[in-house]
């Protein structure tokens, strides 16, 4: 391989591989009527097509979901509206094109896909680019940062909620960006007017997903404390003023939406919910009392545990110690505070499981705050050849997490509670039986598991590239990481599954949602089957 080409691939290969993985699969399942995606898509259509936030027409056309709330004689999405609002410009352009070409209103499937790309994939890719530069202060070597970025992008909830139209990852992007910009203003002496952008990003976070506001508390404390300690009073007031000016716009939009939809600026869609009223209307947004079940189920359970599905996150623990010892106590404190806040939140909310998901999705916004200590820990393992074993341990944990999250995102990124070992009972079972949702492979005539081969190859290459060590131990670390990761994947087979209950759920909710499942009819929703057949026919009509 020519030297110039090799250098280009080393520099941009990771970004290309991650972007390919994010864009390749289209895990869209009309049969399950996603309660998280459809209300958001309905709101996009309503705002563009009819200039309203009421989604009555969409509910009548495509059906209600549990996350639709009645208020004042109309139906509304009970989600924070920010992600739907971000999708307005691209959807308006798409609508203009489809109307101009005589195709009328875009289909629901096309709408959901466009919203996923514009509010999930694109913001996440831009955030990864921002993280690459930000993490250099703790992990100067590119090899160290590649492992952290690949782990976050493909081996965490960041992947799942980048490829779905569910705003958890977008809120993580917003609050993470606010934190990064604030640090650059305070630590790197960037112009104070950048606090306007930091404030806007912080204000946009709850506009996108309410619980993202929790991370704003330690960030605000850090900003004010550091400004007072390092800047004259006039500059402190200027910086805070810029931040407040930036935050006021998205917050005002959120309060206006609440007023228009639910009759008051502080009344959310959850307060109007009927389906889950017994959960949402207790305490503050469902926050009641600490529960051991919720804490353990969100951290170490086999089907939903944060560190069970992504054990590489445990590297934050030695990373905090390294930051503290190395004089980075303020960054360690913010990171620890965010983790404590979100673990308390998910342990005290009565609807902590959150329905179908891959991991404890309500704390997705916490993950960016774990990356600096993890980067410091990885950099420590790369600082001396004798620490290659520690690097390999982290690498093996990353391999396992990517298998879990990248595999689920390509097959079925919705783990129902019925499954106790979803890696084997859902993802690997689908692959073993030759199932796959729509993806780019269908466009060139590939079907079933064969359509996932390009995706799996690219993900495998990204893994090999990311886990390699530095200098003389590069190959040793890569081999040990991959071997260790595959051993962990095999070890997960020992976890007991859900038994007959899981088998029934697989047939009714997973296998039946795959393309072709309605021919002969197997799904009870006729509208979903019609859409399945329409999409399937379009893919099959493409020249091989």
What is the tens place of the pLDDT at every residue in 164-205? 999 999 999 999 999 999 999 998 777 888 999 999 999 999
Distances (CA, A) of 111 to 11, 255, 305, 487: 34, 26, 32, 40
Relative orientation angle of helices 108-116 and 88-100, to the nearest 10 degrees: 140
Average pLDDT over residues 221-236: 91
Q: What pLDDT shows up at residue 544? A: 30
Tell me the H-state helices in 412-523. 422, 428-432, 453-467, 474-491, 499-505
Tell me the H-state helices in 75-193. 82-86, 88-100, 108-116, 122-134, 142-154, 157-160, 168-187
The DSSP H or E segment spanning 10 is helix 3-24
Q: What pLDDT shows up at residue 190? A: 76
DSSP symbol at 473: G
Q: What pLDDT shows up at residue 94? A: 93
- Closest to 240 in 3D by CA, of 229, 230, 252, 228: 228
Average pLDDT over residues 2-16: 78
Name the pLDDT band for 285 (thresholds 50, 70, 90).
low
Exposure pattern of 499-511 as b/e (b: 16+ CB <10 Å)? eeebeebbebbbb
Handedness of CA 487, 405, 364, 198 (dihedral sign): positive
Domain spans in the chain, listed from the N-terminal domain onward: 1-29+384-544, 30-111
Q: What pLDDT shows up at residue 525? A: 47
Q: What pLDDT shows up at residue 517? A: 63
- Closest to 110 in 3D by CA, of 28, 23, 20, 21: 28
Instruction: Record the tokens describing residue 250, joined without a space.
Output: 């998205």
Q: Mean pLDDT over all residues of the chain?
A: 89
The DSSP H or E segment spanning 25 is strand 25-26
Least confident of 211-225, 346-360, 393-407, 435-449: 346-360
Q: What pLDDT shows up at residue 287? A: 75
For residue 520, whether the previous peptide bond is cis, meaning omega lies within 30 degrees of 0, is yes
Which residues lie across from 69 on neighbouring strands?
76
What does the pLDDT look like over 509-542, one tens digit per residue? 899 888 866 555 444 444 445 555 555 555 444 4
Instruction: Record the tokens describing residue 287, joined without a space.
Output: 């926050």
DSSP symbol at 349: B
- Closest to 43 in 3D by CA, of 364, 272, 261, 357: 261
Q: What pLDDT shows up at residue 1? A: 63
Instruction: Record the tokens describing residue 89, joined without a space.
Output: 């410009």
Q: What pLDDT shows up at residue 540? A: 46
Q: What pLDDT shows up at residue 103? A: 80
Instruction: Record the tokens describing residue 471, joined without a space.
Output: 């200098």
Q: Which residues contact 119 (CB under 8 A, 6 or more apart)?
A: 83, 86, 87, 165, 167, 170
* Rounded-to-integer distance, Cα 128 and Cα 467, Å: 17
The more confident residue out of 105 and 331 is: 331
- Closest to 339 in 3D by CA, of 361, 319, 368, 359: 368
Whole-structure pTM value: 0.92
Q: What pLDDT shows up at residue 542? A: 43
* Rounded-to-integer distance, Cα 75 and Cα 81, Å: 14
CB of 86 within 8 A of CB of 122?
A: no
* Rounded-to-integer distance, Cα 107 and Cα 103, Å: 9
Name the pLDDT band for 32 (thresholds 50, 70, 90).
confident
* Rounded-to-integer distance, Cα 469 and Cα 476, Å: 8
């Amino acid at each position: 391989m020519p030297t110039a080409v090799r250098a280009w691939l080393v520099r941009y290969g990771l970004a290309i591989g991650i972007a390919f993985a994010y864009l390749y699969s289209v895990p869209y399942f009309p049969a399950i009527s996603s309660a998280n995606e459809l209300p958001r898509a309905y709101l996009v259509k309503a705002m563009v097509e009819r200039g309203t936030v009421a989604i009555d027409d969409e509910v009548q056309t495509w059906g209600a979901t549990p996350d639709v709330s009645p208020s004042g004689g109309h139906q509304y999405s009970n989600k924070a509206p920010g992600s739907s609002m971000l999708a307005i410009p691209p959807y308006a352009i798409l609508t203009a094109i489809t109307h101009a070409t005589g195709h009328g209103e875009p289909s629901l499937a096309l709408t959901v896909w466009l919203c996923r790309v514009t509010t999930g994939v694109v913001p996440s890719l831009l955030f990864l680019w921002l993280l690459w530069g930000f993490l250099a202060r703790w992990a100067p070597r590119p090899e160290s940062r590649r492992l952290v970025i690949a782990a976050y992008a493909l081996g965490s909830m960041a992947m799942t909620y980048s490829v779905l139209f569910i705003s958890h990852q977008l809120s993580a992007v917003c609050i993470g960006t606010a934190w990064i910009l604030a640090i650059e203003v305070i630590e790197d002496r960037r112009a104070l007017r950048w606090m306007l952008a930091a404030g806007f990003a912080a204000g946009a976070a709850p506009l996108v997903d309410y619980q993202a506001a929790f991370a704003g508390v330690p960030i605000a404390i850090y900003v004010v404390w550091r400004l007072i300690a390092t800047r004259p009073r006039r500059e402190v007031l200027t910086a805070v003023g810029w931040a407040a000016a930036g935050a006021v716009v998205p917050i005002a939009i959120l309060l206006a939406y609440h007023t228009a939809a639910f009759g008051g600026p502080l009344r959310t869609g959850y307060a109007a919910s009927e389906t889950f009223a017994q959960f949402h209307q207790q305490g503050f947004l469902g926050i009641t009392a600490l529960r051991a079940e919720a804490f353990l189920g969100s951290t170490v359970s086999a089907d939903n545990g944060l560190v069970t599905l992504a054990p590489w996150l445990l590297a934050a623990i030695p990373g905090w110690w390294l930051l503290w010892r190395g004089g980075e106590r303020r960054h360690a404190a913010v990171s620890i505070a965010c983790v404590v806040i979100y673990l308390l939140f998910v342990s005290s909310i009565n609807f902590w499981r959150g329905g179908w998901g891959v991991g404890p999705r309500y704390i997705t916004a916490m993950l960016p705050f774990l990356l600096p200590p993890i980067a410091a820990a990885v950099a420590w393992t790369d600082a001396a050849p004798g620490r290659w074993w520690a690097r390999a341990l982290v690498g093996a944990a990353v391999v396992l997490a990517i298998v879990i999250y990248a595999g689920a995102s390509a097959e079925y990124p919705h783990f129902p509670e019925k499954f106790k070992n979803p890696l084997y009972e859902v993802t690997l079972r689908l692959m073993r039986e030759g199932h796959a949702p729509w993806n780019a492979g269908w466009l060139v005539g590939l079907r079933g598991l064969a359509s996932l081969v390009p995706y799996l190859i690219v993900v495998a290459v990204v893994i090999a590239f990311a886990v390699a060590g530095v200098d003389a131990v590069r190959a040793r670390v890569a081999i040990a990481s991959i071997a260790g990761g595959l051993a962990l994947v095999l070890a997960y087979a020992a976890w007991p599954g859900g038994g007959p209950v899981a088998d029934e759920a697989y047939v009714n909710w997973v296998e039946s949602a795959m393309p072709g499942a309605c021919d002969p009819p197997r799904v009870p929703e006729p509208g979903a089957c019609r859409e399945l057949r329409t999409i399937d026919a379009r893919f099959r009509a493409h020249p091989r």
